[in-house]
Structure 1
Amino acid sequence: MVEDHRHCLTCGRAVEKEKLFCSPSCEELFRKQQERMRKARLLSLSLLLFLLFLVLLLSSLSK
């Protein structure tokens, strides 16, 4: 029977049930990826809000 385990969130290797990562390097890589994703979401949201503001501004000026 297979022991209870989970898989590393970065590379997918089997790890102990209470761990999330197989090594500190996988944990660091995961943290960096999460930070990049957070920055990309923030940039996308900022761009969307800017475009919305621009559309509203241009539509009010054209009246």
Structure 2
Amino acid sequence: MVEPHKHCPVCGSPIPMKERVCSPDCEKVLEMNQKNIRKSRIMLFAVIVVFILVWAYFMFFK
């Protein structure tokens, strides 16, 4: 029977349950990916806010 483990989210190699990633290199890649996702979400939120503001302007100040 295989002892409990999980897999590195970056490279997929088996790691202990308490570890987040398998190596410092994978840690850097994971942090970069999370930073890019965070930037993308902020940009999407900003675009949605701008569209709502433009829509509200045209609805109320024709």
Q: TM-score, normalised by structure 1?
A: 0.90
Displacement of 1:58:
1.1
Give the unaligned 5+ runs of structure 1: none
Q: Given that residues 6 and 20 in structure 1 are in contact (C-alpha distance below 8 angstroms), is that contact kept between their aligned partners in structure 2?
A: no
Aligned to 2:11: 11
Where in structure 1 do 4 or more consecutive aligned residues deviate above 4 Å? Answer: none
Aligned to 2:47: 47
Deviation string for 1:22-47 (max 9, x for gaps)? 11111110011001000100000001
Does residue 38 of the first structure (1) align with residue 26 of the second (2)? no
Q: TM-score, normalised by structure 2?
A: 0.91
In structure 1, distance between residues paired with 2:20 and 2:5: 10
Identity %: 27
Displacement of 1:49:
0.4
Report how many aligned residue pairs link the two structures.
62
Give the RMSD, CA atoms, in angstroms.
0.9
Aligned to 1:2: 2
Give the unaligned 5+ runs of structure 2: none
